[in-house]
Amino acid sequence: MDSNFYVMVYKLTGYISLLCFKGYGKLSSALKVEWNNRGFSTFHALIVAFASLYLLLLSDEFDEKSHGDLIIDRTSTLSDMLLGFSLGYFLSDLAMILWLFPALGGLEYVLHHGLSMSSILLSLISGQARIYILMVLFSESTTPFVNLRWYLDVAGQKNSKLYTYNGIALFLGWLVARIFLFIFFFAHMFSHFDQVKKIFPFGFYNLIVVSPVLAIMNVFWFWKIVRGLLKTLSKARHKH
């Protein structure tokens, strides 16, 4: 994907924010950069979440009864385009993180993006393990809730009902898309391990190593989300 496209989305976020949020113009330059960057990540998350959901559940691409080939070898033009789009996003976002390090995120974000890019690139080149990459990409569906929480905090709405409702939605979304989904992910790998073993060696070991690391990171972040939600709910109760 052309880098100009990502620059356009980044700048468009700033223009829309200036029209919809009066306080945007008063933000510091650093906060404006992060604000626009989070708009960029929300755009990416919505695209890949809906596309991954379509490919995994609504299309017949990974329906075990509709194709004769191995499920780990299945690919399509749409999934190729989606992985290319996502690879471009992670690359550009990683460049932003490193350029402004650590303002946009610490080493855990660098690790997350690095692992994600390596897995996406290997699947894009080989055409294998596409189903597992799409499962992980669907977990990006939690990103809009993470970003909305940050936006509300910066806008001084941390004590609002919307902040509380978003926290609950983030908790439920993370539980489904990053905890339960990864349990299904590993169960699917185990039940199809005879096929998984046929992935080319570097891709196989990447899948075996990277997916548990991402799962551990998701559990760690989920623990932080639960702590934050409990704190928010406690404040809300004391207000009443």
Question: For position 98, what pLDDT does the model report?
Answer: 94
pLDDT of residue 1: 55
- Give the CA dihedral 200, 201, 204, 208, nearest 10 degrees: 180
Q: What is the pLDDT of residue 59?
A: 94
Q: Is 204 exposed, middle or buried (0-12, 13-18, 19+ CB in 10 A)?
A: middle
pTM of the model: 0.93
pLDDT < 50 stretches in the chain: none
Six-digit token string for 140 = 């990006």
Contact criterion met (CB below 8 Å) for 139 and 177: yes
Predicted pLDDT of residue 2:
54
Question: Which single residue is written with the structure tokens 């385009």?
Answer: 81
Peptide bond into 102 cis (omega under 30): yes
Place of tokens 């191995």: 70
pLDDT of residue 123: 98
**Rounded distance between C-alpha atoms, residue 184 and residue 211, angstroms:** 12
Which residue pairs, CB below 8 angstroms and at least 24 apart, start in 3-7? Answer: 3/88, 3/92, 6/40, 6/88, 6/89, 6/92
Distance CA 100, CA 105 (A): 9
* C-alpha to C-alpha distances, 187 to 104, 109, 180, 193, nearest whole angstrom: 34, 26, 11, 10
